[in-house]
Structure 1
Amino acid sequence: MTELDADIDVLRVFCGPDGAGGNVLGVVRDGTALPDVADRAALAAELGYSETVFLDDAARGTVDIHTPSVQLPFAGHPLVGLAWLLRALGRPPRTLRPPAGEVAVGFEEDLTWVRGRAEWVPERRTERHASVAEVDALPAPPPGEGWLYAWAWQDEPAGVVRARAFPRRGDTIVEDEATGAAAMLLTHQLGRPLDIRQGTGSQILTRICPDGTIAVGGRVRRDTP
């Protein structure tokens, strides 16, 4: 392991109300300690989390996001997790700046929210299924190539969705526990706020904002071995 280990915070993002679930995130608070993109990619691959986020400029909120195999212009779960961590450290951000653009941040009790645009979401496909049972029965991953977000209505009038996410990139992430960007895309496609139950116990909340952005929010916890 790298000597940066002591400077990596490990969080679970989009936990359920009972603290279950949540997608594991690595946060490197001082991205300037590892400026080379290749070194960052190697660290993200070594950690093996769905994403690792590097905070390059705390004052401006500039960030860099990596999966174990690719660099991303935007992702929801790293931004929600980083915003929560900075607030816990006494420095709540109003804005974060991934490569895709400026992301507004907000806090409501135990929920952390970030706002982005559907066109920022890296290419992925949503696939509706007839029932929650059908989604739950899918193998991990389902046959095929390319990023897949499989979903079904759990309670359509209430806007509750059951979802599972399969990156299918050929790296170590077979199934994503909770995926903010995919939740944002599905919200855009359906044109309504959603309460998404994903993975083994995660919850992602979404809203459509007047300026056309979509907010994704959820609970964050520190990950403990």
Structure 2
Amino acid sequence: MTDYDVLRVFCGPDGRHGNTLGVIRQSGAGTAERQAIARKLGFSETVFVDDPERGVIDIYTPTLRLPFAGHPCVGAAWLLDVPELVTPAGLVGARLEGEFNWIEARPEWAPPRTLKRYDTAAEVDALQVPPPGEWIYAWAWEEEAAGRIRARAFPGRGDGIDEDEATGAAALLLTAQLGRALNIAQGRGSQILTAPRPDGLIDVGGRVLLEGTSRL
């Protein structure tokens, strides 16, 4: 039997929504077994913790292993309460400021995404889930002067995750493209904050809540 924590990452101001994340703190499972567990759990991502004190983590979607992903890093850093995470992509700095947990990451660590701009937030709201294919991050300005964006994410992997509620890696790429701090409303009501830094890193932050612990 395997225990795992269930978090919601990038919750809205009312504490609702956010992207669900599974975190398994003790697992000697190999890559194939971890992939099978991630597929069985069915979260958009599942984190396996290899060293809780050093923050060494391993990230899986239901169908593939990822060297880096945004909401898993934000959630895992909050849960483990560590100043950095060790991922295959590199060291991810982490800090807690008030109600927001922040990570520091490089845009080149993020998996490829198609950033597709629309003219209005209403157009983004009206989008239907596209057929499997490319990974699409649909976005539009809600208030450009204030850096407020409406976004939705469609992974297109055909693994049962038709729409991702909140995606830090895509927000990272959009921030790098636009070169400015953003306040992103994604999915049904999630919130992602970002800010570029002079050293090439980008801060990605959001609220994290613990749903509870379950057993596989």
Q: TM-score, normalised by structure 1?
A: 0.92
1:151-191 CA distance string (max 9 Å, x none): 00011000000000000011010000000000000000000
Asked if residue 48 in structure 1 is aligned to residue 36 in structure 2, the reply is no
The equivalent of 1:212 in structure 2 is 200
More strand by share: 2
Q: Does 1:99 align with 2:93?
A: no
Q: Does 1:67 align with 2:55?
A: no
Shift of 1:143: 4.2
Contact 2:141/2:148 (CA < 8 Å) preserved in 1? yes
One-letter amino acid matched to 2:35: A
Q: Which residue of 2 aligns with 1:203?
A: 191
- Structure 1: 4+ residue segments shifted above 4 A: none
The offset of 1:145, in angstroms, is: 1.6
2:124 is the counterpart of 1:135 = yes
Instruction: Tell me, in whole angstroms, the C-alpha distance in 2 between the residues paired with 1:71 and 1:21.
Output: 25
Identity across matched positions, percent: 59
User: Which residue of the partner structure matches residue 167 of structure 2?
Assistant: 179
Q: Which residue of 2 aligns with 1:37?
A: 31
Q: Match of 1:133, SS?
A: helix
Q: Which runs of 5+ in 1 are unaligned?
A: 87-91
Contact 2:9 2:209 in 1 (8 A): yes
Letter in 2 for 1:155: E
- The aligned counterpart of 2:74 is 80
Partners of 1:160 and 1:48 lie apart in 2 by 31
Query: 1-side partners of 2:207 and 2:89: how far apart?
Result: 23
- Please name the residue that 2:18 is paired with: 22
Q: Is 1:122 aligned with 2:111?
A: yes
Give 2:21's aligned amino acid: L
User: Within 1, Cα distance between the matches of 2:209 and 2:132?
Assistant: 33
| Kept in 1: contact 2:132–2:157 (CA 8 A) | no
Task: Return the offset for 1:146.
Answer: 1.2
The separation in 1 between residues aligned to 2:83 and 2:78, in whole angstroms, is 11
Alignment coverage as a number of residue pairs:
213
The RMSD of aligned alpha carbons is 1.2
Unpaired runs of at least 5, structure 2: none
For each residue in 1:45-76, what CA deviation from the matched residue of structure 2 results, as whole angstroms up to 9, or x when unmatched? 00000100011012321110000111001001
Map 1:162-177 onto structure 2 (within 5 A).
162-177=150-165
How far apart, CA to CA, are the structure 2 residues paired with 1:65 and 1:40?
A: 9
Normalised by the size of structure 2, how large is the TM-score? 0.96
| SS state at 1:112 partner | strand
